[in-house]
């Protein structure tokens, strides 16, 4: 129930003019218009005091108003596209102190879910009241059970301050993403995000799907047509084939369409890269390639507009030597998982610096971190440390060779700079041919290609080393098939979790996909930007390290150990992984929606799991893929977004960051479309295009 001092009014947003399915709100579902189904379900919630339908004042929506009048449903009519003003008018007319926003295309709305979000709003967060509570910051509920609850005061402030047409059309973006309001996220006890349940109506297929659900459940449910989420999920468990009826449309496609139609995002004014260019000239004289890491070097960014040197960082933002500020989606190539200068990590590191940075004997932190890793990583029984991911992958290969007494390696993906792997690429200068010949490659999601490697090298493969997931999801049975094949052929299975560890799941991709390797290699995010890596695995294999040489001065660097322990403990306390999945999904869906809107979806797309997505760029008759990428990078840089080829997210990437980036993506892809429509796309680039680091040999 609502509190005695408040009046909770549910406002159901409805109109006839939907682009993809006009008139959908009055479509029949089991003998009643969809809008009536939604109203009945909202009225069933215990925490709602009043329900009103908010429709537009256009003649097309007279039918909505007439239905409401005939059914005794309160109705408010207002501006068609300024829906924020419409909501404010409806809330004012009904005397609301708390507003619940529902859309009329969600005929499976569950009163229990609605009550949970309302209760979360009233309860606040960490003892403090909130202005806005919702279950759509991270989609752990099915799409179509979306609930937003906010104070009338927040609505009134947004009414006065929100100027952007997108913010006014979609009511809550200003409240959710401006950073001026206290926001609470409500999540389901069981995370349903990976099931991609779609219980809202945008396409004819959605309507057919929901009619089928009502036909199955309404006649048999004790609650009749008010059956809830649990009953729908139980139906899917009995009849999983029903899921094939869903349309498969992305979440919030209408919101992305509104951004696509909005004006382009202006460039950051008075932006200079003069100091960067000066530092680059100095670097070229004393540093080969002008950088310690190829992927961070000047060849990977469109020169002329890109900075070459960064100076400082805080949270999800970085500043270059000229003072330009950027939202950072490179994040040091992935290590920053919490955000730059995270208080807990920085305090742990500073404390350790004062106690000592390098010791002449092992430090207790070596044991403490190893015990922690063994708790959270499925394959971990023993642990050894390095500084870079290549230390870990190189060490794992050496261990596997010593354990099996075999020399050949089967690999799939990128695994670092050491000879055994880099010899398979075009950057193989300096790698002996004999070493190159010992590494055999196979294709991801292709068990036959791995079986072929084993067949052509019988009894000679020491290990299979691979990323459990890169930018493409494993097909059903693929990882399990690799696991079985390694066991059958006596090879060690090594998962390279340098990228996936602490980003896809706290226990790595092996915990996400429930396939356990013999050894695993971690790095990048395990120290929130401080250099540390680890090999962990089965005790009987790790014991081989007693006899091989895997030893270096900074292998147990206590600064990295302290940073890693602090990082993991923060990740155990905070919803870091959940945040990465939620924000990454928004960026991925938005990018792909904009690419489709501007007609460049065959040239570029965003793929991969949400915590770490990659944007793909294709050759066209007028521009090769590197020019295409360069144009996109250039336009993002000029709008304050530091972008390489995708999104390495961290906990500090705020809703404001994501909203700005979506508009920057929208603008960059519009410019790309104009460039590709022109006779000379290169004229749109104000510098030199990026270059490839390497390609497969």
Q: Where are the beta strands (DSSP E) in 163-255?
A: 183-185
**Of 591, 584, 589, nearest in space to 648 by CA:** 584
**Of 130, 103, 128, nearest in space to 118 by CA:** 130
For residues 398 and 535, give the distance between their C-alpha atoms in angstroms, rounded to a whole number.
11
User: What residue has token string 């147990």?
Assistant: 556
| Identified catalytic residue from 7, 24, 116, 524 | 524
β 148-151/310-314 pair status = unpaired
For residues 319 and 626, give the distance between their C-alpha atoms in angstroms, rounded to a whole number.
25
Question: Please, is 229 exposed, middle or buried when counting C-beta atoms within 10 Å of its C-beta (0-12, 13-18, 19+)?
Answer: buried
Q: Which residues contact 364 (CB under 8 A, 6 or more apart)?
A: none
User: What residue has token string 């330009």?
Assistant: 324
Cα dist from 370 to 45, 533, 668, whole Å? 49, 12, 45
For residues 495 and 481, give the distance between their C-alpha atoms in angstroms, rounded to a whole number.
14
CB atoms within 10 A of CB 305: 18
For residues 76 and 85, give the distance between their C-alpha atoms in angstroms, rounded to a whole number.
11
Question: Please, is 160 exposed, middle or buried when counting C-beta atoms within 10 Å of its C-beta (0-12, 13-18, 19+)?
Answer: exposed
Measured in degrees and rounded to the nearest 5, phi and psi for residue 556 equal -120, 40
For residues 250 and 254, give the distance between their C-alpha atoms in angstroms, rounded to a whole number.
9
| Identified catalytic residue from 139, 414, 421, 513 | 414
| Identified catalytic residue from 40, 496, 589, 657 | 496
Is 141 assigned a catalytic role? no
Is 414 assigned a catalytic role? yes
Is 496 assigned a catalytic role? yes
Catalytic residue set: 414, 496, 524
């Amino acid at each position: 129930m609502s509190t005695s001092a408040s009046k909770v009014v549910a406002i159901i947003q409805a109109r006839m003019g939907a682009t993809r399915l006009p008139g959908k709100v009055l479509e029949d579902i089991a003998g009643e218009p969809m809008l009536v189904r939604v109203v009945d379900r909202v009225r069933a919630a215990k925490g709602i005091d009043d329900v009103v339908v908010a429709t537009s004042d256009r003649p097309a929506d007279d039918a909505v108003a007439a239905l409401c009048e005939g059914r005794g449903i309160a109705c408010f009519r207002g501006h068609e596209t300024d829906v924020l003003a419409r909501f404010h008018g409806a809330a004012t007319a009904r005397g609301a102190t708390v507003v619940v926003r529902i859309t009329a295309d969600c005929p499976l709305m569950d009163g229990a879910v609605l009550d949970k979000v309302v209760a979360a709003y009233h309860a606040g967060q960490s003892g403090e009241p909130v202005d806005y509570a919702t279950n759509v910051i991270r989609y752990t509920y099915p799409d179509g059970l979306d609930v937003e609850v906010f104070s009338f005061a927040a609505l009134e402030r947004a009414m006065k301050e929100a100027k952007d047409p997108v913010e006014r059309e979609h009511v809550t973006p200003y409240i959710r993403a401006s950073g001026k309001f206290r926001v609470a996220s409500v999540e389901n006890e069981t995370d349903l995000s990976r099931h991609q349940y779609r219980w809202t109506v945008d396409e004819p297929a959605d309507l057919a799907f929901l009619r089928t659900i009502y036909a199955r459940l309404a006649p048999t449910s004790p609650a009749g047509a008010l059956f809830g989420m649990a009953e729908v999920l139980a139906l899917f468990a009995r009849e999983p084939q029903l899921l094939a009826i869903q349309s498969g449309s992305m979440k919030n496609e209408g919101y992305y369409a509104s951004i696509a139609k909005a004006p382009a995002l202006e460039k950051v004014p008075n932006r200079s890269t003069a100091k960067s260019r000066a530092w680059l000239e100095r670097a070229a004289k004393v540093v080969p390639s002008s950088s310690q890491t190829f992927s961070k070097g000047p060849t990977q960014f469109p020169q002329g507009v890109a900075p070459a040197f960064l100076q400082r960082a805080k949270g999800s933002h970085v500043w270059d030597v000229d003072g330009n500020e950027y939202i950072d989606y490179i994040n040091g190539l992935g290590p920053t998982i919490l955000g730059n200068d995270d208080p807990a990590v920085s305090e742990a590191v500073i404390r350790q610096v004062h106690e000592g940075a390098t010791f002449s004997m092992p430090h207790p932190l070596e044991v403490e971190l190893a015990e922690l890793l063994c708790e959270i990583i499925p394959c971990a029984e023993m642990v050894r440390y390095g500084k870079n991911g290549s230390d870990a992958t190189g060490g794992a290969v050496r261990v596997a060779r010593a354990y099996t007494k075999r020399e050949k390696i089967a690999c799939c993906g990128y695994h670092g700079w050491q000879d055994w792997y880099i010899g398979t690429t075009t950057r193989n200068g300096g790698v002996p041919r004999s070493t190159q010949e010992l590494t055999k490659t196979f294709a991801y999601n292709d068990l036959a290609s791995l079986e072929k490697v084993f067949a052509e090298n019988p009894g000679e493969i020491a290990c299979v080393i691979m990323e459990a997931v890169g930018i493409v999801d494993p097909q059903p049975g693929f990882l399990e098939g690799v696991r079985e094949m390694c066991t059958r052929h006596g090879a060690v299975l090594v998962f390279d979790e340098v990228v996936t560890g602490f980003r896809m799941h706290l226990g790595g991709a092996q915990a996400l996909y429930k396939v356990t390797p013999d050894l695993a290699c971690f790095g990048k995010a395990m120290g929130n930007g401080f250099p540390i890596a680890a090999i962990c695995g089965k005790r009987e294999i790790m014991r081989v390290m007693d006899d091989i040489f895997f030893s270096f001065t900074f292998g147990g660097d206590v600064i990295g150990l302290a940073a890693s322990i602090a990082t993991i403990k923060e990740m155990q306390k905070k919803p870091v992984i959940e945040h990465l999945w939620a924000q990454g999904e928004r960026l991925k869906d938005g990018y792909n929606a904009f690419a489709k809107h501007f007609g460049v979806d065959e040239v570029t797309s965003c793929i991969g799991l949400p915590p770490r997505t990659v944007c793909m760029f294709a050759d066209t008759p007028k521009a090769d893929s590197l020019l295409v990428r360069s144009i996109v990078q250039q336009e993002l840089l000029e709008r304050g977004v530091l972008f390489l080829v995708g999104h390495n997210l961290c906990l500090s990437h705020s809703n404001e960051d994501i909203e700005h980036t979506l508009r920057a993506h929208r603008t960059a892809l519009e410019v790309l479309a104009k460039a590709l429509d022109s006779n000379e796309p290169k004229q749109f680039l104000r510098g030199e295009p990026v270059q490839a680091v390497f390609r497969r040999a």
